[in-house]
Structure 1
Amino acid sequence: MQSLAAVATAAVSVGATGTAAADEEYEVIEADGQTVTISDGETWENKLIDMTTGGDIIVTAEGTGWTIRNVGFHGENASGTGSATFGVADTGGDTSTVENVYLGDGAAEGNQAANGHGQTAFWVNPEHSGHLDFANLNIQGFTDNAIYASAPGTGGGGTVHIDGCFAANCYVSHYRVATEGSRITNSSVLVDDGGHDGRGIWAWSPGTIEVDGCQIEMNGTNTAIDAGANGNGTEVVVSDTDYDEKAGVAEHAGSTVQLEDDVGTDPEAFMPDGVPTSAEEAARK
């Protein structure tokens, strides 16, 4: 795959808190093992990350009122580091935002970390105490969860809202959440032939988790909605959603999954409006 640095002739550099002057402007960053740090009130936007280098990149965001948006990753993450591409938390008790990110080129198998299953797309660290909005994300082919947001359930207790997102062919799960007030809405999960077959939605304690307006197409693999883990139960309320009946619903450790009357079993995964379908599309917005 050709390096983006060689072809992105229209790219310009924009600062961590700056805004690109026109839709076609973005900064190309070659992944070479660096860490990008975002803190209180900062905006990190209009970035195109070149993963064809074979290197890794980690983006960490803590504090409050920060924003990550319009970021595309071109090429598979072949670093094998077992890292999380994004490690995020609102640690100030307010709201931070991640929107319009393309991670659809996935990650190769391999894991140099001491634990885990490979690369994670988004990791929400246990100290998260505020609220995180995830919107218009495209995440495919990651081996250690697409959005791994269950850790605050035993930590800071912060909430997450996953809205208008698409996740496909990831393992261990696609959307993994825990805290009361967390929601997954207007989003899709797809597992198809040859893909990693992680859970569709995995709800951890304490809950309650709301699922609304989603399509969970598992093609008979794993579990569509899995409630409870490590001996601790939770509650999930599902509405206006279709899930794969063969993959089914699992309730562990006294968990309950409440299926409202408008829930069906004929899922058809969709790409929500506004979700980028390429790295360049994400970076140019």
Structure 2
Amino acid sequence: MAREPSELDTDRFADGMDQSAPENGNSKLLHRRSYMKLAGATTAVATAFGTSASADSSDYDVIRARGQVINIGRGETFENKLIDVSTGNSILLNVTGANSVIRNIGFKGLYRGDQFLISINAGRGDILFENIYMGDGATKEGSSFVHGPGAVFMHRGSKANLTFRRCNVQGFPNNGFYCSNTASGPSSVHFDTCFGKNNGVTTFRCASGDDVIENCVAYNDNTDYGPGYGGYTETNGRPVWVWNGGTVTIRDSNFADGPYPYALVAGANGSPGSVTFKSGGYRGNIQRASGSTVSIGDDVSTNPDLSIPDGVPTSAEAAASGAASTGTASSSAEPVEDDSDDDDSDDGLENVLLVDGDDSDVTRYEFNVDGELEPSNDEGATIDDALEIDGALASGVVANWKDAFRFSGDLEQLTVDGPGTVLVNGDEVDPADYGEELPHVLEVEGQGSPTSFEITVEGTIDIASEDDPEDEATTISGSTVQSSVTDDSQTFRFSGALTDVTVIDGEATVSLDGDQIDPADYGDHELLPHALVIDGTDADEPSTYSFKASGSVVKSEYQDASIDDEDVIEGKAVRGAVGNWLDAYWFDGDIEDFTLCGKAAVDVQYNVREQ
């Protein structure tokens, strides 16, 4: 008699999944790029469910797993991402809101993290997972839990209706699709055109009377996914496991047993399951545990077709780009090759500029060329929404990641602030050889009355005259300058972008590179009196927050806090996240509402500027 594999401790695991993934970073800025890097568009789910996403093969971002949590809230769309898990670190797509869409996602590399890749705990509504590849396998090397990491986990308290369409999951020791918590209601799961192989415990795990498995394939064979795989239940997983809850419907699907001698199991923990298997095929036995009922229709054969269903992606690149595969025999399926680096896609942009960041600190850069310019994935670089490209001028920030660009013509101007290096066509270049070190000129001209001002830039700023700054009552600190004028003028040179011009009292005319500007268009032109600091440096895990002020609110570097584009201010409402860093804000009025998820410290300081 075959040994029944040990069952997953649902309560124990569900408790663990309620905790955020740990941060494994080196500095306070290293994880911010991928921590909340979500596609900002809100898509109507009814429309998205009826449309197959398609994108050019170069139209996806690359995210490296570093232990981060990517939160996907209600109504949000997260799409066209290639997630590199070959780093050995964990990553979690934490789906907390219904009416959301997660599609065109490819997980590339053997996963050695300590948790599931996708966690779902959302309210009522629909969630679509479409065109997702998790087929490179996983091992228990990085996990303290006996089963190792899994692919998808739906929490017991989740109320959303889930659809998994054209998904490929293979080689996960701790379940492929763990969705048997639909038994608790009112949630449901619909597996539509999905493929699974060699998933420990089970591939398709469900329970509700509204659950459907349609046009799907699952089986186990003797594939070895590397060190740390095997020896517990990986080779003994059930293709389908139906728990007690309602009658699950299966149609046009095919399953086969492997080392574990059942193609389908109904019932768990002494409670019966119920299945109506209408059409498709299976090889092996069906287990009806604890009085379970499995009804086999006349259109179910014992000669299953185990080829990958049409449209299921067979590589991470194919999934991320939105490409669909054609049905091929699962034993010899060839990956769909990503042609994002082909010369034909470069449109004559023959040169590559790579900005290689450094763990020790952030690096800000700016450059311009005399031809065309576009971001690139060359040398494993990411393409980030925070990149600024204006014609032939580009600027950005790197830490322990890379930014890359393809361009035509010559590199004319390059400024770099920080420890990072720049390579052009594989050769390191010296920014001093390309234009002015501080290429921008800002002039402040007094109008006859004493006027104080403060200027902040992303790069470095310095006074343009040869006089000592102290002789002109000017204070310069890296990226910030404070000074005053009456009926004279002061000129400064700087690199990076101009982020803030504040005229504290009096009047002044301000010009940037020869053109007069309105200081109100640059940052916080009104000095807000109060400070709010969210400090994640002593917390064991990342924290997310949201708040609303009764007056104005702006981001701040108060107490050496970092400023990041992915923390969002919408009017008087703010939402963001901290890992092992600080976020700070200036505000006016009162904090009317504040929500914190995590253990970050929060400090509200009133009338700070008067202290």
**Taking structure 1 as the reference length, what is the TM-score of the superposition?**
0.88
For residues 21-40 of structure 1, the aligned pairs below 5 Å read 23=56, 24-40=58-74
Superposition deviation, residue 110 in structure 1: 3.5
Alignment of 1:263 with 2:300, yes or no, is yes
Alignment-derived partner of residue 72 in structure 1: 106
User: What residue in structure 2 maps to residue 189 of structure 1?
Assistant: 218
Provide closer, same or farther for how the CA distance between residues 177 and 15 of structure 1 changes in structure 2, counting only shifts above 3 A.
closer
Label 1:165 to 1:232 Cα distance change in 2 as closer, same or farther (>3 A). same
- Contact kept in structure 1, 2:88 and 2:142, CA below 8 Å: no
C-alpha contact (below 8 Å) 2:38/2:72 kept by paired residues: no
Asked if the contact 1:212/1:239 (under 8 Å) is kept, the reply is yes
Distance 1:224 1:84 in 2: 24
Partner of 1:204: 243
Verify the 8 A CA contact 1:217 1:268 in the aligned structure 2.
no
In 1, distance between residues paired with 2:103 and 2:146?
A: 27
CA distance in 2, matches of 1:50, 1:159: 30
Using the alignment, how far apart are the partners of 1:159 and 1:118 within structure 2? Answer: 26
Cα shift readout 1:20-39 (whole Å, capped 9, x = no counterpart) = 99512111101010000001
CA deviation after TM superposition for structure 1 residue 180, in Å = 1.3
- Say whether 1:17 aligns with 2:49: no
Q: Does the CA-based 8 Å contact 2:193-2:309 persist in structure 1? A: yes
**Is the contact between residue 89 and residue 132 of structure 1 (CA under 8 Å) also seen in structure 2?**
no
Partners in 2 of 1:129 and 1:186 — Cα distance?
Answer: 25
Deviation by residue 1:138-162 (Cα, 9 ceiling, x = unmatched): 1000001100001231x34310000
Q: 1: distance between equivalents of 2:259 and 2:146? A: 25
Alpha carbons 1:219, 1:244 under 8 Å: kept: no
1:25–1:226 CA distance, 2 compared to 1 (3 A): same
Between Structure 1 and Structure 2, which shows a larger proportion of helix residues? Answer: 2
Q: Which runs of 5+ in 2 are unaligned?
A: 1-36, 43-52, 225-234, 323-611
Aligned positions, number? 265
Equivalent residue, structure 2, for 1:105: 136
The farther-off stretch of 212-221 and 177-186 is 212-221
State the alpha-carbon separation in 2 of the partners of residues 55 and 278 from structure 1.
Answer: 20
Q: Give the alignment partner of residue 76 of structure 2, picking from 42, 48, 52.
A: 42
Q: Deviations over 1:219-257 (max 9, x none)?
A: 463311100001111210001121113xx1111122100
Deviation at 1:218, TM superposition (A): 2.3
Residues 238 and 66 from structure 1, CA distance in 2 versus in 1: closer, same or farther, beyond 3 angstroms? same
Is 1:53 aligned with 2:87?
yes
- Looking at structure 1, the residues matched to 143 and 203 of structure 2 have their Cα atoms a distance apart, in angstroms, of 22
* 1:163-217 residue CA offsets vs partner (Å, 9 max, x unmatched): 1000001110010001111010100012122462300100001121011111102
Q: Structure 2 residue aligned with 1:88, among 120, 137, 144?
A: 120
The residue number in structure 2 matching 1:7 is: none
> What TM-score comes out, normalization by structure 2 length?
0.42
Is the aligned partner of 1:127 residue 2:150? no
Match of 1:63 in 2: 97
Supply the AA of the counterpart residue of 2:86.
Answer: T
* 8 Å Cα contact 1:111-1:117 kept in structure 2: no
3-state SS of paired residue (2:182): helix
Corresponding letter in the other structure for 1:139: V
Shift in CA distance, 250/283, structure 1 to aligned 2, threshold 3 Å: same
Q: Secondary structure at the match of 1:126?
A: coil
Say yes or no: does 1:275 pair with 2:298. Answer: no
Out of 134, 137, 160, the position equivalent to 2:167 is 137
| Cα RMSD, aligned residues only | 1.9
Distance 1:219 1:229 in 2: 20
1:249 to 286, 289, 304: 286
Q: How far, CA to CA, are the matches of 1:22 and 1:252 in structure 2?
A: 45
On the 8 A contact 2:221/2:259 being kept in 1, the answer is no
AA aligned opposite 1:260: G
Q: SS at the partner of 2:86? A: helix
SS in 1 for 2:261: coil
Contact preservation (8 Å) 2:236, 2:259 = no
In structure 1, list runs of 5 or more residues that go unmatched. 1-13
